[in-house]
Structure 1
Amino acid sequence: MNYRALLLVITVSLFSCSPNDLVITKNGASSYEIVHLGTATEGEYKAATTLQEYISKISGAELPLMDESSQTTDTPKIYVGNINEDDLEPQEISLKTENKNIYISGGSDEAISNAVFVFLEDYLGCKWYAPNAESIPSSTTITLPTIDYSYTPDILTRTVHSRLFYENEVFAKQHKVTTEAFPHYAPEAKVHTFHRFMPEEVFYESHPEYYALRGDKRLPTQLCLTNPTVLEIVTDSVSALFKRNPEASVVSVSQDDNQQYCQCESCNAIDTAEGSPAGTMIHFVNKVAAAFPEKTISTLAYQHTRKPPKTAPSENVLITLCSIECDRSASIAEKCTDFSEDLSGWSTLTDNIRIWDYTTQFTNFLAPFPNIHTLRPNIQLFRNNNAKWVFEQHSHHPSELFELRSYLTAKLLWNPDQDLDALVTEFTNGYYEEAGPFIKQYVDLIHSKIKEDEDFFLFLYGDPSEAFSSYLSPELLQEYTQLFNDAEKAIVDKPELINRVKLARMGIDFAVLEASRKNLTPDYRLTSTNENGTQITNPKVALLLDNFTNTAKENNITLMNEMGFKVSEYGANYISALEIAKRNNKAKGKNVVSLTAPKKYAEENPMVLTDGALGGSSFYANWLGYEGNDLEVVVDLGETQTINTISMAFLQVTNHVVFFPSSVQYFGSSDNKRFTALGTITNPKPLSKTSKMNDIHYYDLKMQPQKYRYIKVTAKNTATPYWHHAAGLPSWIFSDEIIID
């Protein structure tokens, strides 16, 4: 059955009559009128006009809109608002038919709006897939069965961190989610606020005792929560925030984004007695909250404070519990049991829980991230543990299958018990039309493959390169690519749908580009050899990169990751990698010995520096890492050769404590014993608070031609500065391919 035929079947089933049905419109006309309260608020009135608008879109009938005082006595009515003054909870909605009348009610303006959109979607067949994509049935006759429906959502504040909702208020209302990430919060105090209340630039030099004791030194990573002056300053700051923002009811008093909490004697005594570093936090926040009994003080249960203490939060303290560490290849209940236990523990201490969950890969927004199957069980877990406020941190900016993910998450927050597979099918068929079945096959296939790999850890800060032996194997990449090719063929004469499919395939195109960067197979590589035996750019990769960057540009997709790495920068870096891959490299395939110890990444194998594969913007992608020590490696060229240039790439990801080396020095030797200094390259971009967060830099040395067999490289580690959130912790150097010519 094709898509148009399917729509016809749905329309016929929705608008066919049975003897007890109400006939709302017939042949484009109606005897009904829409009635709202005479004292209707702006929100109630808007809900009534929305209903009027969509009934007209569906049937062509223009139902009159009037208040109670002007309604016609003998005319059937659609009442919008709590006309009967039913005793409804603030979020409760009610839909009823009685004596030919229809009652659409809610316990608040928000609930009345929600009730109208439930009525339009569930009973009149309207669908809203994206701000620019809705499906409205077309029928001059609208009939309704008997309705007696009420519903109160378990999750009362529902937020999907997606610009589709933040930038489109109507779309957010259609899906019953918030239009901002932190509703009711003071705008200057949403999360990670310690450094805002007490900036180290202001207090640290004169009062180091206000800050965390780490070892034998005070560092401005966190606050000392047992210092009475700190409590006084923070309380005064909160008071000032509420005065500046009288409409705000919430201020966050929460740790900064690191685990370098205070270990002074006083703080440590409380944390030990409470069984968690959350002990000092709750003691401190409860004291702040006591000064504002009519307001809410939010704090984090995050990383070191995630485990609940013994002391309960005050009634006006909102606990924001964060699941950042969890493996996303399966549900939290299955693969993140520590978090589940902590959630259960907090739920016994307080009814005031906000969940901060994560649904995308922050290091690679556009990479395939097969976690859709976890959305439903995770939201059910939150609901079952009394979380009334759920914030699903998607990428905000466009990411893989952005529209689908935004749609599914909003739907499940409203009702966590909906059938996930049915929702995916509903969206793919509606949004992609004839291409939908192929997109659905892709979604099903990639999720089935990660489920088969039970040992795979799907991390929020991972990289596609981790999955090239799993759900992104070369064979599967070919299958996925073919599905998207088939999807495009199915809608070849529909430019708008082709663009939607191109957006959907960006994840797989990105994965193929990254596989090619690693020279994964003869099909996936940066270069090919022409008939003259010359290395040229792989034309398939060049075309794919062009399509990828153009699709991004045409759809205002600007970011690759949360560190601010731009799609334009990715494209420029990739073009540079294509040129580098064609360069003559006397070091390629040659043996490398590391004189200092690498750690964790690239299997700690120094041969990654001469394997011909080039690293990307993530430290998982072909980079050799050194933590807290300098890099020192020696390349054996196998024989004495003339050297003109030496180059080596280094990565910077400042929020993950990855810094450019302060300097790189190159040496040459003929016997691997006596080395001659060839030159030193100093970092031209010294680390500062304003340093680019995600960057790649080549330390290039041009020299007079000299002959050597061995080339040694030393890169000096840049120590973590006192002002960095990881102060006191070792920093990383990440290095890539050595190019010698």
Structure 2
Amino acid sequence: MKQLIILLIIFNLLSCSNRQVNLDSNSLSEYTIVSDNRAVADTLNVYFKKALGVELPIASDIKGNKKYIHLKDNSDFLTDYMSLSFSEYSITVQGNNSKMLSYGVYEFLENFLGVRWYSTDLTVVPEITSFNIPLDKEIIYKPSVTTRTVHSRLFYKDSSFADKLKVSNEAFPNYVPNARVHTFHRFIPYDKFYDNHPEYYALRNGKRLATQLCLTNEKVLEIVKDSVASFFKKHDLSTVISVSQDDNTQYCMCDSCSEIHEREGSPAGSMIYFVNQIAKYFPNKTISTLAYQYTRKPPITRPESNVLITLCSIECDRSVPIDEGCKNFQKDLQGWSKLTQNIRIWDYTTQFTNFLAPFPNWATIKPNINLFVNNNAKWIFEQHSNNPSELFELRSYLMAKLLWNPDLDSDIIIKDFTNGYYGSGGIFIAKYIEEIQFQLNEAKPFFLFLYGDPSQAFDTYLSPENLNYYDSLFKEALASVPKQSGYYNRIERARLSIDYAILEAYRKNFSKQYPLKRTKNKVTMINPNVLERLNDFDHVTNKNDIILMNEMGFTVDQYVINYQNALKLASKNNLASDKKVSLLTNPKKYANEDPQVLTDGALGGNSFYSNWLGFEGNDLDAIIDLDSIQVINNLSLNFLQVTNHIVFYPLQVQFEISRDSVSWKSFPIILNELSLSPKSKVNDIQTFSQVVNKEKARYIRVIGSNIEKAPLWHHGADLPSWIFADELIVE
């Protein structure tokens, strides 16, 4: 590996008694920047000008310059000058990245001038009178993680900012576009091959399903080889391609594949068997594959030297470090590290179902990175939200700093950032981080899930009392800075997570602190605080170009509209409110399997954890007793769709009414107008309504028909499908 000498400052005729020199604007002006890289030299000059008001001359060589700052990208120093009795200080960064020269300069600016690149909207350059340089000292830094990626649009949209934080400015450097992860379906598409060649695909319970490929089928190997060759030919500058399982766990269990799994002790056996053959065919390229879910456990066979193992930690609890709470992953990581030095970690650091939700995993980020580094991981991909999420800028900054230097102290980084980015409001935001982490620790055991929901924590770290306290901290933070300042806007943006959690608490309608409705002068209405909070949330997200609520493409606008629609339902005089619900079919797992969820006044959100009653593979069939015969004009019930989690709208819904629960009057079947297809909206809510025109009834029956199994084109093909329902409205 080439050693890159990045920054050398030569001092001539200086007293060395204190072993350091103080440079002010006058003494610094005596120096020349020597470099053949004008862009990097100009960068150094820009910050000298901002910090000390000095702009130095730039020369291409050191001849004639007795005091100089030498920027070099190799170790071939001129020995004639090195033999002189000069004092010197140098920063050396070792690596083979062409940007190492810039990285060394940024290290110098950060450590000696106090420059901070907090985010794309704030760089802090302190105005200083001088700075101290230690003499006869060299700092040598060799990054333990050679490819550092934080999945954040802050870095992807601004490559210069990525350089300053020393991370990549793309998610998959050097990969073939469109072949970066979950690629089996790209090489052998279902719509082109399945009908004529079902044997190319996974055998499950006697059926061939297009969920994964049959990795022992020789024809599959030939087609994938041809596809990989075609991709590389089209993208000849790319050096890496992913040959990896699709995003489901339905791998092939035919006799040939199963024999390998048994022999190798893991379904990863057939994957490595297959990928190794591809790798041998492309010896000068890197073939990336996944150790993910069912392939996470390492096999016996070693991957070829040009196979990159991408090990994924998706199952792990984020409330504690992996080496405490996810021992099986740690064991698998150690197992892979014995098989190969070519490991890429795919780690997860946000709640993908709710980007803006509070997600107190602060105490796990550093120890997890340390664990990866200690087990040969040279390439780490931290899958942040890409789009804005809770304390988005801080999380992006923290992960970048730790990937560059895993030995740094997280608490010091957080304190430095909050003070710099939020001004005098920073102490309150730092206190929020500290307190919510403490409350999560008090709640243990608590599984902090990547696909969870705030409602899971309403009795622990997001209890009404805790939400009140967090909210008060953000109010103090806002009050501490000028309203028209950048600090104020950044604090407003940071508060969105608490706004969102409180909105969800209102929706659930479970506490006196956050009631969905209020009664005044015997008139019940929507709590005006809900409307105010929703309007503020809408305003701040729009002002800051915050578009997405989750990874399924559910937008902030859709969230606000759905919430407003839910409030319209809640404002109605619901004859079914808190009435007894009897189920004729069995729910499963969610909402504590409590049928009263359908009439409890709490409104289901965009996640199936949020007050939805779920049915897996069977229909919803419920009867609601209104206690007495009532005049009814309209019936409605909401259903949730989250297609990537096999949650679909019912095929149809039918309402029936009765006065005695014996004789029933049926209304026309309501068909699902949004039929399921690969282009269906991933995350949405649909209301099924029936006008009944002043009918009299005591009992309401609603039947939602499940499609029962995911269709063949879906990644969950042949698995039981879910329907989720909430809040029957009877007017």
Task: Give the structure-2-normalised TM-score.
Answer: 0.95
| DSSP 3-state at the match of 2:710 | coil
Structure 2 match to 1:696? 685
1:503-518 paired onto structure 2 within 5 Å = 503-518=493-508
Distance 1:702 1:435, change over 3 A: same
Is the counterpart of residue 135 in structure 1 residue 144 in structure 2?
no
Q: Give the Cα–Cα distance (whole angstroms) in 1 for the partners of residues 706 and 261 of structure 2.
A: 34
CA offsets per residue over residues 165-208 of structure 1, 9 Å max, x none? 11111111111000000001001210000000010011000110
Measured after TM superposition, the shift of residue 703 of structure 1 is 1.7
| DSSP 3-state at the match of 1:505 | helix
Q: Give the Cα–Cα distance (whole angstroms) in 1 for the partners of residues 88 and 604 of structure 2.
A: 66
Q: Give the Cα–Cα distance (whole angstroms) in 2 for the partners of residues 657 and 523 of structure 1.
A: 35
Is the counterpart of residue 535 in structure 1 residue 524 in structure 2?
yes
The code of the aligned residue for 2:58 comes to L
Structure 1 match to 2:550? 561
The code of the aligned residue for 2:338 comes to T
Structure 1 match to 2:436? 446
Is the counterpart of residue 57 in structure 1 residue 44 in structure 2?
no
Q: Give the Cα–Cα distance (whole angstroms) in 2 for the partners of residues 28 and 542 of structure 1.
A: 61
Structure 2 match to 1:341? 331
**Which of these residues, 52, 60, 64, is aligned with residue 67 of structure 1?**
60
Measured after TM superposition, the shift of residue 83 of structure 1 is 5.3
Is the counterpart of residue 416 in structure 1 residue 385 in structure 2?
no
Measured after TM superposition, the shift of residue 144 of structure 1 is 1.6
Mean alpha-carbon deviation: is it higher for 26-35 or for 453-462?
26-35
The code of the aligned residue for 2:71 comes to V
| DSSP 3-state at the match of 2:668 | strand
Measured after TM superposition, the shift of residue 51 of structure 1 is 1.2
Give the conservation status (yes or no) of the 8 Å contact 1:214–1:728.
no
Is the counterpart of residue 46 in structure 1 residue 39 in structure 2?
yes
The code of the aligned residue for 2:76 comes to E
Measured after TM superposition, the shift of residue 72 of structure 1 is 4.7
Measured after TM superposition, the shift of residue 31 of structure 1 is 0.8
Structure 1 match to 2:267? 277
Q: Give the Cα–Cα distance (whole angstroms) in 2 for the partners of residues 622 and 84 of structure 1.
A: 63
CA offsets per residue over residues 396-444 of structure 1, 9 Å max, x none? 0000000110010001111112111111101100111100000000000
The code of the aligned residue for 1:170 comes to S
Mean alpha-carbon deviation: is it higher for 665-674 or for 382-391?
665-674
**Which of these residues, 675, 697, 700, is aligned with residue 686 of structure 1?**
675
Is the counterpart of residue 34 in structure 1 residue 25 in structure 2?
no
Measured after TM superposition, the shift of residue 522 of structure 1 is 2.4
Structure 1 match to 2:608? 619
1:664-679 paired onto structure 2 within 5 Å = 664-679=653-668
Distance 1:135 1:546, change over 3 A: same
**Which of these residues, 76, 81, 94, is aligned with residue 67 of structure 2?**
76
Structure 2 match to 1:456? 446
CA offsets per residue over residues 29-60 of structure 1, 9 Å max, x none? 611111114xxxxxx44322211211111111
| DSSP 3-state at the match of 2:435 | helix
Distance 1:28 1:490, change over 3 A: farther
Mean alpha-carbon deviation: is it higher for 99-108 or for 601-610?
99-108
The code of the aligned residue for 2:504 comes to E
Count of matched residue positions in the alignment of Structure 1 and Structure 2: 707
The code of the aligned residue for 1:484 comes to F
**Which of these residues, 475, 489, 508, is aligned with residue 499 of structure 1?**
489
Give the conservation status (yes or no) of the 8 Å contact 1:586–1:637.
yes
Q: Give the Cα–Cα distance (whole angstroms) in 1 for the partners of residues 680 and 55 of structure 2.
A: 59
Mean alpha-carbon deviation: is it higher for 281-290 or for 73-82?
73-82
Give the conservation status (yes or no) of the 8 Å contact 1:28–1:59.
no
| DSSP 3-state at the match of 1:668 | strand
Is the counterpart of residue 598 in structure 1 residue 587 in structure 2?
yes
CA offsets per residue over residues 242-280 of structure 1, 9 Å max, x none? 111111110000000000110111111111111100000
| DSSP 3-state at the match of 1:285 | helix
| DSSP 3-state at the match of 1:563 | coil
Measured after TM superposition, the shift of residue 715 of structure 1 is 0.4
Q: Give the Cα–Cα distance (whole angstroms) in 1 for the partners of residues 375 and 77 of structure 2.
A: 29
| DSSP 3-state at the match of 1:646 | strand
The code of the aligned residue for 1:273 comes to R
Structure 1 match to 2:344? 354
Q: Give the Cα–Cα distance (whole angstroms) in 2 for the partners of residues 480 and 592 of structure 1.
A: 37
In structure 1, list runs of 5 or more residues that go unmatched: 1-16, 38-43, 88-96
| DSSP 3-state at the match of 1:373 | coil
Give the conservation status (yes or no) of the 8 Å contact 2:353–2:549.
yes
Measured after TM superposition, the shift of residue 125 of structure 1 is 1.1
Q: Give the Cα–Cα distance (whole angstroms) in 1 for the partners of residues 157 and 631 of structure 2.
A: 59
Give the conservation status (yes or no) of the 8 Å contact 1:59–1:139.
yes
In structure 2, list runs of 5 or more residues that go unmatched: 1-15, 79-83
| DSSP 3-state at the match of 1:618 | coil
| DSSP 3-state at the match of 2:669 | strand
Q: How high is the sequence identity, in percent, across the aligned residues? A: 53
Q: Give the Cα–Cα distance (whole angstroms) in 2 for the partners of residues 263 and 83 of structure 1.
A: 54
| DSSP 3-state at the match of 2:729 | strand
Give the conservation status (yes or no) of the 8 Å contact 1:80–1:103.
no
Give the conservation status (yes or no) of the 8 Å contact 1:35–1:65.
yes
| DSSP 3-state at the match of 1:148 | strand
The code of the aligned residue for 2:45 comes to Q
Measured after TM superposition, the shift of residue 580 of structure 1 is 1.0
Q: Give the Cα–Cα distance (whole angstroms) in 2 for the partners of residues 441 and 559 of structure 1.
A: 27
Q: Give the Cα–Cα distance (whole angstroms) in 1 for the partners of residues 525 and 388 of structure 2.
A: 33
Structure 1 match to 2:626? 637
Q: Give the Cα–Cα distance (whole angstroms) in 2 for the partners of residues 727 and 443 of structure 1.
A: 42
Q: Give the Cα–Cα distance (whole angstroms) in 2 for the partners of residues 352 and 285 of structure 1.
A: 14
Q: Give the Cα–Cα distance (whole angstroms) in 1 for the partners of residues 601 and 668 of structure 2.
A: 24
1:251-270 paired onto structure 2 within 5 Å = 251-270=241-260
Structure 1 match to 2:700? 711
Q: Give the Cα–Cα distance (whole angstroms) in 1 for the partners of residues 324 and 28 of structure 2.
A: 55
Is the counterpart of residue 308 in structure 1 residue 298 in structure 2?
yes
Q: Give the Cα–Cα distance (whole angstroms) in 2 for the partners of residues 699 and 84 of structure 1.
A: 72
Q: Give the Cα–Cα distance (whole angstroms) in 2 for the partners of residues 709 and 606 of structure 1.
A: 18
Q: Give the Cα–Cα distance (whole angstroms) in 2 for the partners of residues 316 and 161 of structure 1.
A: 25
Q: Give the Cα–Cα distance (whole angstroms) in 2 for the partners of residues 78 and 459 of structure 1.
A: 50
Distance 1:423 1:705, change over 3 A: same
Is the counterpart of residue 243 in structure 1 residue 233 in structure 2?
yes
Q: Give the Cα–Cα distance (whole angstroms) in 2 for the partners of residues 183 and 221 of structure 1.
A: 28
Measured after TM superposition, the shift of residue 704 of structure 1 is 2.2
Give the conservation status (yes or no) of the 8 Å contact 2:93–2:141.
no
Structure 2 match to 1:99? 86
Give the conservation status (yes or no) of the 8 Å contact 1:647–1:701.
yes
CA offsets per residue over residues 351-374 of structure 1, 9 Å max, x none? 000000000000000000000110
| DSSP 3-state at the match of 2:309 | strand
Task: Give the structure-1-normalised TM-score.
Answer: 0.93
The code of the aligned residue for 1:79 comes to H
Give the conservation status (yes or no) of the 8 Å contact 1:453–1:470.
yes
Q: Give the Cα–Cα distance (whole angstroms) in 1 for the partners of residues 470 and 93 of structure 2.
A: 45
Q: Give the Cα–Cα distance (whole angstroms) in 2 for the partners of residues 629 and 736 of structure 1.
A: 16
Q: Give the Cα–Cα distance (whole angstroms) in 1 for the partners of residues 75 and 199 of structure 2.
A: 62
Measured after TM superposition, the shift of residue 85 of structure 1 is 2.1
CA offsets per residue over residues 283-324 of structure 1, 9 Å max, x none? 000000000111100000000000000101000000000000
Is the counterpart of residue 609 in structure 1 residue 598 in structure 2?
yes
Structure 1 match to 2:356? 366
Q: Give the Cα–Cα distance (whole angstroms) in 1 for the partners of residues 605 and 397 of structure 2.
A: 31
Q: Give the Cα–Cα distance (whole angstroms) in 2 for the partners of residues 229 and 83 of structure 1.
A: 49
| DSSP 3-state at the match of 1:679 | coil
Measured after TM superposition, the shift of residue 114 of structure 1 is 1.2
Measured after TM superposition, the shift of residue 732 of structure 1 is 0.3
CA offsets per residue over residues 707-738 of structure 1, 9 Å max, x none? 11111110000231100000010010000000
The code of the aligned residue for 2:21 comes to L
Structure 1 match to 2:150? 160
